[in-house]
Amino acid sequence: MSTFKAPKGTYDLIPPVSVKYLAVREAISGPLRNSGYGYIETPGFEDVGLFARGVGESTDIVSKEMYAFETKGGDQLALRPEGTASVLRAALEASLHKQGNLPVKLWYSGSYYRYERPQKGRYRHFSQVGAEAIGAEDPALDAELIILADQAYRSLGLRNFRILLNSLGDKECRPVYREALQGFLRGLDLDAETIRRAEINPLRVLDDKRADVQKQLVGAPMLRDYLCDACKAYHEEVRALITAAGVAFEDDEKLVRGLDYYTRTTFEFVHDGLGSQSAVGGGGRYDGLSEMIGGPALPSVGWALGVDRTVLALEAEGVELDIPAATSVFAVALGEEARRVLFGKVTELRRAGIAADFSYGGKGLKGAMKDANRSGARFAVVAGERDLAEGVVQLKDMEAGEQSPVALADLVDEVRARLA
């Protein structure tokens, strides 16, 4: 055993579990790639100010959970706690909004970091797949992203998730609601930290999960009663488009989400089989974020889906992913000449696009066949000196247990035909 262990709140992804994570990432990104979203990758760390200004200093993410540090050169950096601010920063830096038609549609996948109390479904290092549509104010974009996330989850076989939907208003109507909510909150018995948060961003108090706080919030003014006509019309169009696509959702007037940059549409994907960590993903519209980080006005919308929690949701529903075996053919060589010849055939199989592996380490037949079984290979190719003298190898169907000789020169074509 190594002297070192993974840091608290983190994990290593190793086979065979890691295959599930790859399958989930592929399933989530598939609908995006088919809908005009291009892949983007950003650094694992950014200027602290990007998140302080974009995500919001009143959020737990920035005030309590962000890994911030000073470099040897004196720069103040932070490990990225979320993806949207980084993606928008990269798009602005590369002037993607000036290079073609808007919106700029991007998707990403990577690791993110928050200093949280570790528990199942909540880690200090976690994985997400996200999507952003930058530079257009259109309810069809909001609906598109919700529909694509729903499609991704259903393609994985998930059924017991729910979509929660709300509108947070815009710069015209939200200040009026903010003032009304702050007036209500000032009359409550709240701790000093919550009072401070209420003065910076009172909507964040609505997202407080503590029972004693939620009890006091009964009777709080509702944002829906303060939405301007434009926000009401926008939200109704989003709802209508999602409904027309056959995607079910629930209106949740208390849905706020944990980041300050959201405006208008906000949504969350929840799975009731995960206990307290029920959110598997979410997102919304962030029309003012570009200006917050020094860019031009670029109304945008996006989401991020948690890979870790999606895997937990699959396990909660008992969904087994149909993941093909990593190896289709496993070669077992008996003798030095057979070893040389079969290694060459394994190379040929791989070049033909057939997943193939080889018995390394000079094991005997029994040990090598155990390796073949463990690999999950559909076929084993076995050859010794006598087989080679006859110009054949033995091709064994590992499922049926049947074995038959195949001409060495025909091996690749025979395997391809049988796999087809």
Q: Within a domain: residue 354?
A: yes
Whether 288 is in a domain gets the answer yes
pLDDT of residue 126: 93
Mean pLDDT of 4-20: 91
Q: Which residue has the higher pLDDT, 240 or 258?
A: 240
Ligand-binding site membership of 38 (annotated): no
Average pLDDT over residues 347-369: 93
What is the spatial distance between Cα 411 and Cα 352, in angstroms, rounded to a whole number? 11
**Same structural domain for residues 241 and 380?**
no
Is 113 annotated as ligand-binding?
Answer: no
Predicted pLDDT of residue 116: 85
Distances (CA, A) of 181 to 69, 188, 217, 319, 341: 35, 11, 10, 43, 77
Same domain, 66 and 153: yes
**How many domains does one find in the chain?**
2
Beginning with the edge strand found earlier in the chain, give each strand of the sheet holding 300-306 in spatial order: 38-39, 104-113, 125-134, 300-306, 279-285, 263-271, 161-167, 250-251
- Is residue 8 domain-resident? no
132 is in an annotated binding site: yes
Peptide bond into 16 cis (omega under 30): yes
* Contact yes or no for 337/364 (Cβ under 8 A): no
Q: Do 250 and 132 fall within a single domain?
A: yes
Which amino acid is it at 246? Answer: G
pLDDT digits 0-9 by tens, 263-317: 899 999 999 888 777 899 999 999 989 999 999 999 999 999 999 999 999 999 9
The pLDDT confidence band at residue 259, using thresholds 50, 70 and 90, is low
Same domain? For 90 and 163 the reply is: yes
pLDDT band per the 50, 70, 90 thresholds, residue 260: low
pLDDT for 59 equals: 66
Close Cβ partners of 321 (under 8 Å, ≥ 6 residues apart)? 20, 23, 156, 157, 314
CA pair distance 354, 19, nearest whole angstrom: 18
254 band by pLDDT with thresholds 50, 70 and 90:
confident
**What number of residues does the chain have?**
420
Average pLDDT over residues 18-44: 96
pLDDT digits (tens, 9 = 90+) for 183-219: 998 888 888 888 888 887 788 788 777 888 888 888 8
> Is 270 found in the same domain as 346?
no
> What pLDDT is recorded for position 39?
97
Q: What is the pLDDT of residues 139-155, one digit of tens each?
A: 999 999 999 999 999 99
Q: Are residues 334 and 392 in the same domain?
A: yes
- Give yes or no: residues 250 and 298 share one domain: yes
In terms of domains, do 158 and 62 share one?
A: yes
Domain boundary residue, one of 284, 317, 350: 317
pLDDT surpasses 70 at 92: yes
pLDDT for 191: 87
Q: What percent of the chain has pLDDT over 70?
A: 97
Q: What is the pLDDT of residue 258?
A: 60
With cut-offs at 50, 70 and 90, classify the pLDDT of residue 78.
very high
Question: Could you tell me if residue 151 is left (phi over 0), alpha (psi between -120 and 50 degrees) or otherwise beta?
Answer: alpha
Whether pLDDT at 1 is above 80: no
Per the annotation, does 84 bind a ligand?
Answer: yes
304 and 342 assigned to the same domain: no
Do residues 309 and 408 share a domain?
A: no
Q: Do both 305 and 368 map to the same domain? A: no
The pLDDT-based confidence of 255 (bands split at 50, 70, 90) is confident
Burial-class residue 6 by CB neighbours within 10 Å (0-12, 13-18, 19+): exposed
Question: Which structural domain range is residue 361 located in?
Answer: 329-419
> How does the average pLDDT of the chain come out, rounded?
91
108 is in an annotated binding site: no
| pLDDT at res. 349 | 96
Over residues 220-231, the pLDDT tens digits come to 888 888 999 999
Same domain? 342 vs 291? no
Instruction: Give pLDDT, residue 315.
Output: 94
Find out whether 403 is annotated in a ligand binding site.
Answer: no
**Main-chain dihedrals φ then ψ at residue 201, nearest 5 degrees:** -150, 90
Quick one: what percent of the chain has pLDDT higher than 90? 70
Tens digits of residue pLDDT in 234-248: 999 999 999 999 999
pLDDT number for residue 34: 97
41 marked ligand binding residue: no
pLDDT, position 57: 63
Residue 55 forms part of a structural domain: yes
Q: What is the CATH number of the domain that holds 263?
A: 3.30.930.10
